[in-house]
Chains A and B, each alone.
Chain A
């Protein structure tokens, strides 16, 4: 397999993984689930608590914890104090923070080896 991906090519997390945000009180969780299990280690290396923090620079959480679920080829990020007090009091447009999964999924990470051989959906 030839690697036609340019050295240093960056792709969005959502090209390799999908996810969903959920809120409870002032806490948000975002799952990051590999479409293809063979990319899970690559995702684990690059989708870190630090990268998640960068994705939320516009509203910095007071803490971020990543849980890794190898059986499911998934990670779960839990962000503390990220909803300005929670769904029922904040003044945001999206009071639940439901749209925020895409703040993380749009972050760029290096393309995995062999990425250039794939189509735009990573298949």
Chain B
């Protein structure tokens, strides 16, 4: 025994809230150590989490996830690990403590710090918003070791959420490269939630997926002491087959022999898998190599604004009229703002137009522009709105949207410059 079972209750910041409860219910079917993870951070989530509004949203999200599943977790002794701490793990941990207290629930709450790096005023002309290192599982193990039932992290590498649980329960040393790689593989496969068990997979023909309206959650079962890893989907819709697992195995992978994480370099080039049950796949052959002595960093940089505007055309000549409208906009923007470099798509004919094929009867012209000057963006979008009266015949359904543009710039720091450390909240029960 001694298997560690980890289920995923979210694969991105705004995933279905019910998935956490399905994941927790799934875990009750397993004997051993049980963990629930929520993976909530993408490349720019941390930039969006800055400021008061961003902070409030990330607290609301964390509590939203917990509300849906906390009772099942407490009743069944399921620990929770999540990076929903975002840009402020300690503050989110405190908010969770408040929420639990309000409901007379007792859980010990830990948090992990160390990913946040100082931003220099001189960086990126003073436009840098945040800088974080992708830290490893070390702080999660420290928090669990201190007795935490819920561990709140910021920017730990996605698979490290699972590595933390496995390293703690199996008492891994930080040089057990093959074991760390196996745990990383488990994390990699379930960190996108349903993407491994029928989500993001359905198509016609051989790719039909049952139960798409209520997909189940994946569970990774990590055996102690050898390289067997089981992935299963016990409850809910969807399916888990060697095909769904292979798609997720290669998702966001570059060189399969060198997947770099802060904990280990994972090598999946020799992985083999077998369907070992209905909705159950067993993987073997994952190996690990010494972790890099540096960590990846991501700096979020304010890049002004993106404006998008769209207008629809219908009928046999819809493509011709969308092209006319595009010509009008191109010429007008050349006069008003020669450096604007607008981007155009004709939705409904994007590839047909390039290949001179097809005959769409319903298209939508989209223009996108970017600038540091919000007023300038607004003025350029107004040009699309003016097509109502001044453009080709039969244009309608105009929508305008302006959103902040945040670039992410990758860099590196040495491992000792951003150390993953776990803490226990002070007034925790």
Bound together: yes
- For A23, give the chain B residue with the smallest CB separation: B252
- Say whether B61 faces chain A, with CB atoms less than 8 Å apart: no
**Across the interface, do A33 and B247 meet the contact criterion of CB distance under 8 Å?**
yes
**Across the interface, do A22 and B253 meet the contact criterion of CB distance under 8 Å?**
yes
| Stretch from A2-10, A45-53, A68-76 at the B interface | A68-76
**Given pairs A29-B251, A72-B273, A89-B405, 15 additional interface contacts (CB within 8 A):** A18-B201, A20-B201, A20-B251, A22-B251, A29-B254, A71-B272, A76-B253, A78-B254, A87-B43, A87-B44, A88-B405, A88-B408, A89-B407, A91-B369, A103-B351
**Across the interface, do A88 and B407 meet the contact criterion of CB distance under 8 Å?**
yes
Give B115-147 interface residues, CB cut-off 8 Å to A: none
- Say whether A115 faces chain B, with CB atoms less than 8 Å apart: no
**Across the interface, do A91 and B410 meet the contact criterion of CB distance under 8 Å?**
no
- For A106, give the chain B residue with the smallest CB separation: B351
**Residues of B with C-beta under 8 A to A24:** 43, 252, 254
Complex Cα spacing A123 to B410, Å: 45
- Say whether B249 faces chain A, with CB atoms less than 8 Å apart: yes
| Stretch from B64-72, B99-107, B203-211, B384-392 at the A interface | B203-211
**Residues of A with C-beta under 8 A to B243:** 18, 33, 35
**Residues of B with C-beta under 8 A to A18:** 201, 203, 206-207, 243, 247
- Say whether B256 faces chain A, with CB atoms less than 8 Å apart: yes
**Residues of B with C-beta under 8 A to A71:** 270-272, 285
**Across the interface, do B247 and A121 meet the contact criterion of CB distance under 8 Å?**
no
Instruction: Identify 10 residue pairs between A and B in the complex whose beta-carbon atoms are under 8 Å apart, listed by A's number.
Output: A18-B207, A22-B250, A27-B254, A29-B250, A31-B247, A31-B250, A76-B253, A76-B254, A88-B405, A88-B406
**Residues of B with C-beta under 8 A to A87:** 43-44
Complex Cα spacing A33 to B354, Å: 28
Q: Which of B203, B250, B366 has the most chain A CB atoms inside 10 A of its CB?
A: B250
**What's the least CB distance linking A33 to chain B, in Å?**
5
Given B206, B343, B407, B410, which contacts A35 in the complex, CB threshold below 8 Å?
B206
- For A76, give the chain B residue with the smallest CB separation: B250
**What's the least CB distance linking A48 to chain B, in Å?**
18
**Across the interface, do B345 and A93 meet the contact criterion of CB distance under 8 Å?**
yes
- For A32, give the chain B residue with the smallest CB separation: B250
**Across the interface, do B271 and A72 meet the contact criterion of CB distance under 8 Å?**
yes
- Say whether B169 faces chain A, with CB atoms less than 8 Å apart: no
- For B251, give the chain A residue with the smallest CB separation: A22
**Across the interface, do B405 and A72 meet the contact criterion of CB distance under 8 Å?**
no
Complex Cα spacing A72 to B243, Å: 9
Give A81-123 interface residues, CB cut-off 8 Å to B: 85-89, 91-93, 103, 120-123
Q: Which of B252, B285, B343, B366 has the most chain A CB atoms inside 10 A of its CB?
A: B252
Give A41-68 interface residues, CB cut-off 8 Å to B: 58, 67
**What's the least CB distance linking B272 to chain A, in Å?**
5
**What's the least CB distance linking B364 to chain A, in Å?**
10
* Given A18-B203, A76-B256, residue A33 in contact with residue B44 (CB < 8 A): no
Question: How many contacts A-B (CB < 8 Å)?
Answer: 106
- Say whether B347 faces chain A, with CB atoms less than 8 Å apart: yes
- Say whether B18 faces chain A, with CB atoms less than 8 Å apart: no
**Residues of B with C-beta under 8 A to A72:** 246, 249-250, 271-273
- For A85, give the chain B residue with the smallest CB separation: B407
Complex Cα spacing A35 to B241, Å: 11
- Say whether B320 faces chain A, with CB atoms less than 8 Å apart: no
* Given A33-B247, A74-B246, residue A92 in contact with residue B345 (CB < 8 A): yes
Given B246, B253, B345, B368, which contacts A29 in the complex, CB threshold below 8 Å?
B253
- Say whether B255 faces chain A, with CB atoms less than 8 Å apart: yes
- Say whether B269 faces chain A, with CB atoms less than 8 Å apart: yes
**Residues of B with C-beta under 8 A to A23:** 252
- Say whether B200 faces chain A, with CB atoms less than 8 Å apart: yes
Complex Cα spacing A86 to B343, Å: 15
Given A67, A88, A91, A120, which contacts B43 in the complex, CB threshold below 8 Å?
A88
* Given A19-B247, A29-B253, A78-B254, residue A86 in contact with residue B370 (CB < 8 A): no
**Across the interface, do B246 and A67 meet the contact criterion of CB distance under 8 Å?**
no
Q: Which of B205, B354, B368 has the most chain A CB atoms inside 10 A of its CB?
A: B205
**Across the interface, do A88 and B205 meet the contact criterion of CB distance under 8 Å?**
no
Complex Cα spacing A92 to B343, Å: 7
State the 8 A-B residue pairs at the shortest beta-carbon distance, nearest first. A22-B252, A91-B343, A91-B368, A31-B250, A121-B205, A20-B247, A22-B251, A71-B272
- For B242, give the chain A residue with the smallest CB separation: A72
Complex Cα spacing A23 to B253, Å: 9
- For A24, give the chain B residue with the smallest CB separation: B252
**Across the interface, do A33 and B246 meet the contact criterion of CB distance under 8 Å?**
yes
**Residues of A with C-beta under 8 A to B253:** 22, 29, 76
- Say whether B306 faces chain A, with CB atoms less than 8 Å apart: yes
**What's the least CB distance linking A51 to chain B, in Å?**
16
- For B42, give the chain A residue with the smallest CB separation: A87
* Given A33-B246, A87-B43, residue A123 in contact with residue B252 (CB < 8 A): no
**Residues of A with C-beta under 8 A to B203:** 14, 18
**Across the interface, do A69 and B251 meet the contact criterion of CB distance under 8 Å?**
no
**What's the least CB distance linking A91 to chain B, in Å?**
4
**Across the interface, do A20 and B200 meet the contact criterion of CB distance under 8 Å?**
yes
